[in-house]
Structure 1
Amino acid sequence: MGFRDFVCFNQSLLAKQSWRLLTNPNSLAFQIYKQKYFPSSNFLQAKWGNNASSVWRSLLWGRELLVKGIRWRIGSGTRVKVFQDPWLLRSHSFKPITIPSQDHLHLMVPDLMQESGKWDWTKVNNFLWEVDSFARKVRKMLELWPHLIGFHGRGFKDLFQWMVDNGRGEDLANFVLVCWSLWTERNLLVFQNKVKDREDVLTRARRTKEHCRIFSEIRFHVGIQTSTQSFWQPPITGAFKVNVDTAVAESLNNFGVGIVGRDNNGYLIFAEGWNFQGSLCVRTADLLAIEESY
């Protein structure tokens, strides 16, 4: 019949039955299972329980697949918890990634709405800054609050355009660097499943800003020096020195280059290395390393 994976096929069929159970709370089957397995909760929170039947265990296995793709569609929102239920248009959990405090753990979606049922964007923006201590630190670093007084947008695109139009000088630079750092952390989470301390976002932004300041002030002196001296000599004050080294593996048809940049005090500014396929002489590879350093 063309089935490639019977396990996945069976689980998808059971997920369909779980969906029917979830969307028909007045059915006889739902009432029986509720009385036996989840009398004080709902189907999505139900556990195996004692002496669970094979049918119930199968339904819960189907539910594992179901919960990966379902979310609430917000109407009145009276049954939806902001931090515990899936309701956002996110590609993974459909939940906010912010870790709430105990005071906000049971916050309901209507708490972020007007009486008319429309979103209260002022309340949403204020709440998102208030609930997250990390967000408050970002706000303090960016000093965004005076700029956001007149902001009425609904997403990052609107916010970015607002900052481009209204931000000036260092405020705009800080905003762009933090956005870049946040995007880097997001990619690490999505593509490599790596979760780092969120303080690294601000640290990376501050470090990048300092590097940009250094690079804008220093003078470049590019050249290749061949010497038998084995000790490092510092550059003149206000400049930095880039040292390059090359390793050629002719038998493997590749070569590696590395660069290290240090200021006149010997402090490391940057270091990087690359591996290339092909064969080059050492001097040409050194020139390639210098080009890569830009």
Structure 2
Amino acid sequence: MVLDTDKFHWFLVICWALWNRRCKKLAERESDDSLQLIDKTRQYFATFKEANEKQAKSSGVSQNAQWNPPSTGKIKINFDGATFKDPIGAGDGLIARDHNGHCGAWNHKFATSINEASMLKLWHFECQ
């Protein structure tokens, strides 16, 4: 079975929401109830879809980014950040890969503001 892009993105958003709920429950001993989770997931997906549609419309030039591996025996860490409409705010992530492209570590954080996201990026850098 092959999913179209929208269904695949919806699947990823659901997986992220469930994982995020689990982490929140473990860390804070509380989480949204099922109906709140469904509502937040729908809102996040709508925001995600709208942002990607705007980006596709505004980007007249196709950009093919290509990952270049580090030297043998080295690890390359890539960072990225983004801002979103409410309810998320902003976030960043990182992935560490070796010269073969194998993922050694990854992490992501969501923030309620760009300033908080900048602090998270610094925190990621210091933790390495």
Q: Report the TM-score, using the length of structure 2 for normalisation.
A: 0.41
Larger radius of gyration, structure 1 or 2?
A: 1
Q: Report the TM-score, using the length of structure 1 for normalisation.
A: 0.20
Name the structure with the higher strand share.
Answer: 2
Structure with the greater relative contact order (CA < 8 A, sep ≥ 6): 1 or 2? 2
